[in-house]
Structure 1
Amino acid sequence: MTTLWTIVNIAVLAAIIYVLYSLQKKHVSFSKRVFLALGTGIVFGLALQFIYGATSDVMKTSMDWFNIVGKGYVKLLQMIVTPLVFLSILSAFTKVKLTQNLGKISTLIIGSLVVTTAIAAVIGIGSSYVFHLETIQIEQGNAEAARAEQVEQRLGDIQGLTFPQKILELLPANPFLDFTGARATSIIAVVIFAAILGVAYLGVKRKNPEQADRFAGIVETFYVIIMRVVTLILRLTPYGVLALITKVAATSDYAAIWKLGTFVVASYAALLLMFVVHLLLVAAVKMNPIFYVRKVFPALSFAFTSRTSAGTLPLTVKTQTDELGVPEGIANFAGTFGVSIGQNGCAGIYPAMLAVMAAPSVGIDPFTPSFILTLIAVVAISSFGVAGVGGGATFASLLVLSTLNLPIALVALLISVEPLIDMGRTALNVSGSMVAGILTSRITKDVNPIVSTGQSHAEA
């Protein structure tokens, strides 16, 4: 019977995919199809859990097949991330208009990411205070104990490093190794390597323009081809979102979520408040926040369901250039830097909340001005090099807690709600990258005409 019901479930998923494909053929907008996939997936997943149970054999077998669509789509995006990061940065250096303001643009983007992460830390601290979060509220079960061992092992890799040594870990000693994603800091290492090549290109351009132009032509050719691959993969987004959110809804442990409900609510309250800050920032540079939300929804939906900022990078860049009017060079910088620097959700809100919860267990009052200021500074600095993939928030939390000499066990105790919260954190990370791109393009007055459709009413 397991095989029969599995076939039925696969057939239902295939039917929904066919409906989404039919809507595409009828030229229904991309945003509407993503939204429909998200809603349908939630309903379908909840129905599957109600009928079979989250841990049944039918569910496990069905999810294995569903993963071909969901995880398969994520793998395709992950396949393209590293070459896209590398070529995006390198291509940005070869664009003459961008190179004239290169230092200013880089400073604005990195500054925006780090400052918004510091603001996110403040919001995380405030949320912990308002909801009275404490470590004692969380119980440890078998899953948490197993996760604690993994966390201890991961901490062992970074605990013995001094802060200068942690900075050195960001540098690409072997860029070819980092192209494989072998290290937690591989993405930022690839960014640094591409930036070094870009600076070298600028030097060659001043002394030997002919060779520099040849190199720029090669880079642009590869970049155009990679972006074409990105376009082909992004057409699969509604189907990937459908399969991913179906799995989340079908296999989530709602009893555990209910038990840690206060922490989940506090986390999402902080995430939503930080998103409001993003809307205020885009409004401050005269972009209509409603326009912004409408245009970024598909990218944020995928980030929410996939839980990978790096995997969302192609969507992040395309959304900025095609929908928000951010020039290609700035969009490339904002998207790629945002993958590994200043992630508002994973490296800002989450570590700050955990630090506030863990501090009382070692006799520290987390709401003294000295602790708060130290925590904000540590969070902002530690946000460099956090990988934009699942587990990035854990790495960021380990960095912050170990730097402040706080117990790290709390990271393991939240395993049951980690996936649910990570969905919102990832979406916020991606929004932060796009906001950095918008702010930078508006401040440098380098905006494509399409942005005029997103002007605030006051400006219009």
Structure 2
Amino acid sequence: MDTLFLLLNIAGLLLLVGLLYGMNRKKVSFSKRVFTGLGLGIVYGLILHFAYGTDSAVLQESMPWFNLIGSGYVKLLQMIVMPLVFISILAAFTKITIGKNFGKMAGLILGMLVGTTAIAAIVGISASLLFGLDATEIVQGEAEAARGASIEERSASVAEKALPDQLIELLPGNPFLDFTGARPTSTIGVVIFAAFLGFAYLAISRKETENAATVKKGIDAIYALIMGVVRIVLRLTPYGILAIIARTVATSDFAAIYSLGKFVLASYAALLVVFGIHLIIITLSGLNPITYVKKAGEALIFAFTSRSSAGTLPLTIDAQTKRMGVPDGIANFAGSFGLSIGQNGCAGIYPAMLAVMIAPSVGQNPLEPTFLLTLVAIVAISSFGVAGVGGGATFAAILVLSAMNLPVVLAGLLISVEPLIDMGRTAVNVSGSMTAGVTTARVTGELDTDVYNAPLAKQTVEA
């Protein structure tokens, strides 16, 4: 009998996959298919959850088949992260205008990425205090204890090092090792290596124009090839989202989520405030924030559903260049560096909220000015090197909590609501990098305002 129910569960998933495929054949837009996959995943997950219960053996046996699609999709996203980050940053250097504007452009982008992360930390602190979040009030179950132990074990090597030593760890001693993602800071290592190659290209282009042209041609060819792979993976998004969301909903402990409801509300309140700050920055630069929301919408929806800033990079760059009039070099630079530097949601709001929540458990007054100023500074510095795929927020939390001498084990208390919050965090991360790109292009006078203000219906983003 169990086998029959198992087959029915798998058949139901395949039926929904077929429905999404049919929508693709009918040329339904990418964003509509992603949203449909999200909706179908929620509905199907609820059906399975209430039909079997989270402890059901049939449900547990069904999940590996859901993982075949969901986790398989995530694996493919992870596959393209390092090549995509590397070639996007290198290509950014071949597309930028060489001259005095380069330093200004790079400084503005990096300053905005880190600056908005510091602001996000302040927002996260405020949200924790306003909602009265306290880690000592959260009930710890087996899953939370296991997660906490895992985080504590992972943090052991980090906690032993002083902050300067942690910063040295960001440097790529062996860039080829970092391409494998072997270190927690591998992403920033690849970013730094690509940046060095980019600066080398700029030096060559001034003195050896013929060699520079050959290098640029090769980089452009590799960029086109990698983006071709990315487009193939992105076409699988609706199916991956369907399976991931269905699995998450079906196996979620709703009681645990309900008990952490205050943290979820506080998190999304903070995320909305930071997104509002992005819109204020856009407005202060003299652009229409509503236009920004409309044209960034598809990339933000993808980021929300996929929970991958790196996977969203092609849409992030295309939205800036094709819909908002940002030059290729600035869009690539902002999008690529935004994957590992200054992620407002994962590296700003989240670790700051955790630190304020956990502080009372060790007798630390979270309202103490010295504690708050130190926390904001450490969050900003630690935002360097946060990976753009799932797990980046955990690494950011480990760095911040370790530097603040707070117990990292308590971060495991939020395991049941992590996926729910991570969707919003990822969307805000992507918005932060796009805000940096658009604003920088506007300030440097390189933004094509005609493209920015053009009606959305006439523009398309490749997906």
2:332 is matched with which residue? 332
Name the counterpart of 2:260. 260
1:37 corresponds to: 37
Structure 1 residue 107 displacement after superposition: 1.2
Q: Is the 8 A contact 1:292 1:454 kept in 2?
A: no
CA distance in 1, matches of 2:96, 2:399: 38
Which structure 2 segments of 5+ residues have no match?
Answer: 457-463
Does the C-alpha gap of structure 1 residues 262 and 107 become closer, same or farther in structure 2, counting only changes over 3 Å?
A: same
Q: Distance between the aligned counterparts of 2:45 and 2:258, measured in 1?
A: 18
User: TM-score with structure 2 length normalisation?
Assistant: 0.92
Contact 1:241 1:302 in 2 (8 A): no
Residues 47-446 of structure 1 mapped to structure 2, 5 A cutoff: 47-97=47-97, 101-446=101-446
Residue 454 of structure 1 deviates from its aligned partner by: 6.5
Q: Which amino acid aligns with 2:363?
A: G
Deviation at 1:286, TM superposition (A): 4.2
Give the TM-score normalised by the residue count of structure 1.
0.93
CA distance in 1, matches of 2:68, 2:290: 35
Instruction: State the partner residue of 2:451.
Output: 450
- AA of the residue aligned to 1:273: V
The one-letter amino acid paired with 2:436 is: A
Q: 2 CA distance for matches of 1:71 and 1:288?
A: 39
1:317-376 C-alpha deviation (Å, 9 max, x unpaired) = 333333333322222111211111111111111111111122223333212333222211
Task: Give the C-alpha shift of residue 216 in structure 1.
Answer: 0.9
Give the Cα–Cα distance (whole angstroms) in 1 for the partners of residues 292 and 333 of structure 2.
19
CA distance in 2, matches of 1:315, 1:439: 18
Please say which of residues 436-445 and 128-137 is displaced more in the overlay: 436-445
CA contact (8 A) 2:85 2:310 kept: no
Closer, same or farther in 2 for the Cα pair 1:293/1:52, shift >3 Å?
A: farther
Asked whether the equivalents of residues 188 and 340 of structure 1 are also in contact (C-alpha less than 8 Å), the reply is yes
Q: What's the offset of the Cα at 1:160?
A: 1.6
CA distance in 2, matches of 1:212, 1:184: 33
Counterparts of 1:35 and 1:367, CA distance in 2: 41
Q: 1:41 to 1:322 in 2, by over 3 A?
A: farther
CA displacement, residues 93-120 of structure 1 (integer Å, 9 cap, x when unaligned): 1125366632222211111111111111
SS at 2:200's partner residue?
helix
- Structure 1: unaligned runs, 5 residues or longer: 456-460
SS at match of 1:326: coil
> CA contact under 8 A between 2:291 and 2:453: conserved in structure 1?
no
**Aligned in 2, Cα 1:19/1:362: closer, same or farther, shift over 3 Å?**
closer
Change (3 A) 1:283 1:34: farther
On the 8 A contact 1:234/1:315 being kept in 2, the answer is: no
- What is the root-mean-square deviation of aligned Cα atoms in Å? 2.1
Question: For residue 333 of structure 1, what is the amino acid of its counterpart?
Answer: F
Greater displacement, 55-64 / 164-173: 55-64
Displacement of 1:397 in angstroms is 1.4
Q: Say if 2:335 and 2:434, in contact at 8 Å, map to a contact too.
A: yes
Identity %: 60
- 1:316 and 1:96 map into 2 onto residues whose CA distance is 18
**In structure 2, do the counterparts of structure 1 residues 9 and 192 end up closer, same or farther at CA, with 3 Å as the change threshold?**
same
Cα separation, 2, equivalents of 1:175 and 1:353: 33
CA contact (8 A) 1:347 1:379 kept: yes
Structure 2 CA distance for partners of 1:454 and 1:78, relative to 1, 3 Å: farther
Letter of the structure 2 residue corresponding to residue 198 of structure 1: G
